[in-house]
Amino acid sequence: MELDVEEEIWKYLCPLSSEMLSRENEYFQKADGLCNQKQWLQQGYKGAILWPLFPCFHEVDEVGLEQVPDVIQNYHICAVKNRRIDSDIIAKATQMKIIMQYGVGLEGVDVNAATEHKIKVARIPGSMTGNAVSCAEMAIYLTLGVLRKQKLMDAAVHQKGLGSPTGRTILGKTVLILGFGAIGVEIAKRLKPFDVDGLVDQKGGPEDIYELAGEADIVITCLLQTNETVGIVDDMFLSAMKRGSCLVNIARGGLLDYKAVFNHLESEPFDPEDPILKFSNVIITPHVAGVTEYSYRTMAKVVGDVALQHHSGETFTGIEFVN
Quick one: pLDDT at residue 12? 55
* CATH number of the 5-126+292-321 domain: 3.40.50.720
**210 and 232 Cβ atoms separated by less than 8 Å:** no
Q: Is the pLDDT of residue 158 over 70?
A: yes
Q: Do the domains 5-126+292-321 and 131-278 sit in the same CATH topology, yes or no?
A: yes
> Mean pLDDT, to the nearest integer, of 181-208?
79
pLDDT digits (tens, 9 = 90+) for 170-188: 988 999 998 888 899 999 9
Quick one: pLDDT at residue 21? 42
**Is the domain 131-278 a CATH 3.50.50.60 member?**
no
> Mean pLDDT, to the nearest integer, of 305-319?
85
**171 and 224 Cβ atoms separated by less than 8 Å:** no
pLDDT digits (tens, 9 = 90+) for 104-113: 777 788 999 9
Q: Structural domain boundaries of the chain? A: 5-126+292-321, 131-278
Burial of 78 (0-12, 13-18, 19+ CB in 10 A): buried
What percentage of the chain has pLDDT greater than the value 70?
A: 71
Instruction: Give the residue with greater pLDDT, 250 vs 155.
Output: 250
Distance, CA of 28 to CA of 95 (rounded, Å): 29
3-state SS assignment for residue 9: helix
3-state SS assignment for residue 215: helix
Q: Is the pLDDT of residue 32 over 50?
A: no
What pTM did the predictor assign?
0.65
Torsion of CA 138, 140, 142, 145, to 10 degrees: -140
Give the CA distances from residue 71 to residues 51, 54, 92, 181, in Å, rounded to whole numbers and listed in that order.
Answer: 12, 18, 9, 37
Q: Is the pLDDT of residue 16 over 60?
A: no
Confidence of residue 53 (pLDDT cuts 50, 70, 90): very low
**122 and 319 Cβ atoms separated by less than 8 Å:** yes
pLDDT digits (tens, 9 = 90+) for 288-308: 666 677 777 888 888 888 888
